[in-house]
Structure 1
């Protein structure tokens, strides 16, 4: 086990040597993970985590006065899940007359770290939403400012995560009632902790019910990401598709429609998040409801408690989930397999 001082000096070259890849490959894995294979990226992230890699030593930069200002960093501002969380944090901050700074990492651990370093000297605390940074990097950031992590569990750092058990159990029960024996899972990014956690929960529940799953991984958690997986699905269709989030689900439906297939007549789709777009899309989208507003609000209150040095009743908070059934996953009565 490396000491704290040694871990601060771990470089890209150290990670590359330990992982058996080139330094340029390590750099790409952090800045442009879509350009590195899933297996190589996992090896690099696991190695960086083990070594305690942080791109540069974290300096304990003094706060420039008491600012009454906090920050939230998200991977994609355009994603409604993220924008709802931002709004919830904004409301909590306004109630305390505290300003909010918002930054976007564009799904990059390197850009997220750079945003943190730019913002940290001027804020009292930071909320990291669906962070793409390795655990060791997040812990080092938390040494300089109060940090709360949303939709991610990091040992030693306050976090707000999802309790997927209820929503996933309802999802699998819904699939089983319609006699599906196999499904396709459209997964999210390599560097997303929540993507891995979500897949693990779904795959375990499916296996317990004897339902096979083929996994398409990694994917971009966007409309374009779901659209791009259509051809892979058509090479081995299963009838039911579960997407990492609603944006991917809608993109997949759009691509299938372009190829002449109708949802839910020819295939069913279930997403995660229960975004507003999914509720008005045609067909309306079945989705596991995740309250990003509650995640954001609880994270903000947790951060304020940390900044004020007061006790928080839930340094490790969990937000429940549930399945909302709509048209996209209802197999027509006359349909057979």
Structure 2
């Protein structure tokens, strides 16, 4: 066993675990190819000895770094944060790590991150990508790329059926007698926001709903608060919001203005993540599996890397959503 002043080596871990050095190497670089009981012995031995695989040496030997990169527009948005946390957890289960790069939702910064990190990681998961599909596919020719929250032809893509969930909320508003509905749109250029607006327009066309679009805006608390006065003065009796953080800002400002929910206006959000731990009555929201997006993306990257690269492309998925209908939706006030 390595002494307190020694650096544990791969051979030390092999002796401690009672396996060959090649098995230890495989456990570090390709844990999916090692029997679970053996993998546990190797990891326990490495932990006891304080062994840490050298990423540079592993990359030189195997051609793999053990790192993935997750590109996110920001970490203030709780949907993105939940996706990133789940991606890191899933990667750790497979003996990998995730490097997170914040792009600000800008195509130029996203492209720079892809270029800067390409030599340091085994693959990319890009959350709400802003780059052109052709640019993402060009990177994919060299390193596996998975798209999250946007469907990109030619890439493994994972999305959630938020538009379908919003459709059920629209239907409920029609049942309650609403005819004038506001939609506070998300960031400019958002693929998912376009899908949501398309769903809203489709429902409006067949149900007689009048829809007033506000935005686009960044999905931030301050932006929701800033939009509240315009929405309250629009004559709409209900408002649907791109995400829960925007909704919190809008409701905060409604409270300061004396606008009551749901007596004066009904409200709902396209996700519930920022609302999850708040006290008080629950808000109507689409229940979007943000964490599952992160787990699916990392699993797909691991599958592609394990198969030797981007030539094998796992099937993407559109994950189903639930809907929580609450008393934040009510019939429009008399005379509205």
- Whether the TM-score (by the shorter chain) exceeds 0.5 is yes
Q: Residue 86 of structure 2 aligns with which residue?
A: 88
Q: TM-score, normalised by structure 2?
A: 0.76
Q: Residue 121 of structure 2 aligns with which residue?
A: 123
Contact 1:72 1:103 (C-alpha < 8 Å) held by counterparts: yes
Q: Residue 70 of structure 2 aligns with which residue?
A: 72
Specify the SS of the correspondent of 2:264.
coil
Instruction: State how 1:136-215 maps to structure 2 within 5 Å.
Output: 136-164=134-162, 166-215=164-213
Q: 1:122 and 1:277 mapped to 2: Cα distance?
A: 37
| Change over 3 Å in CA distance of 1:307–1:313 after alignment to 2 | closer
Q: Following TM superposition, by how much is the alpha carbon of 1:328 offset from its aligned partner in structure 2, in angstroms?
A: 2.4
| Change over 3 Å in CA distance of 1:316–1:204 after alignment to 2 | same
Contact 1:273 1:291 (C-alpha < 8 Å) held by counterparts: no
Q: 1:111 and 1:192 mapped to 2: Cα distance?
A: 16
User: Cα deviations across residues 303-325 of structure 1 (Å, max 9, x unaligned)?
Assistant: 11111227979522110112112
Alignment counterpart, residue 297 of structure 1, candidates 278, 292, 295: 295
Q: 1:107 and 1:327 mapped to 2: Cα distance?
A: 34
Q: 1:108 and 1:241 mapped to 2: Cα distance?
A: 28
Contact 1:128 1:148 (C-alpha < 8 Å) held by counterparts: yes
Specify the SS of the correspondent of 1:228.
helix
Contact 1:302 1:312 (C-alpha < 8 Å) held by counterparts: no
Please identify the structure whose Cα radius of gyration is greater: 2
Q: 1:179 and 1:277 mapped to 2: Cα distance?
A: 26
Which 5+ residue runs of structure 2 have no aligned equivalent?
Answer: 1-58
Q: Residue 5 of structure 1 aligns with which residue?
A: none
Give the aligned length.
274
User: Cα deviations across residues 148-202 of structure 1 (Å, max 9, x unaligned)?
Assistant: 0001011111111122454133111211121001200000111211111111122
Specify the SS of the correspondent of 2:167.
helix
Q: Following TM superposition, by how much is the alpha carbon of 1:326 offset from its aligned partner in structure 2, in angstroms?
A: 2.6
1:280 counterpart = 2:278 = yes
Across the aligned residues of Structure 1 and Structure 2, the Cα RMSD in angstroms comes to 2.2
Contact 1:246 1:278 (C-alpha < 8 Å) held by counterparts: no
Contact 1:288 1:322 (C-alpha < 8 Å) held by counterparts: yes
Contact 2:74 2:102 (C-alpha < 8 Å) held by counterparts: yes
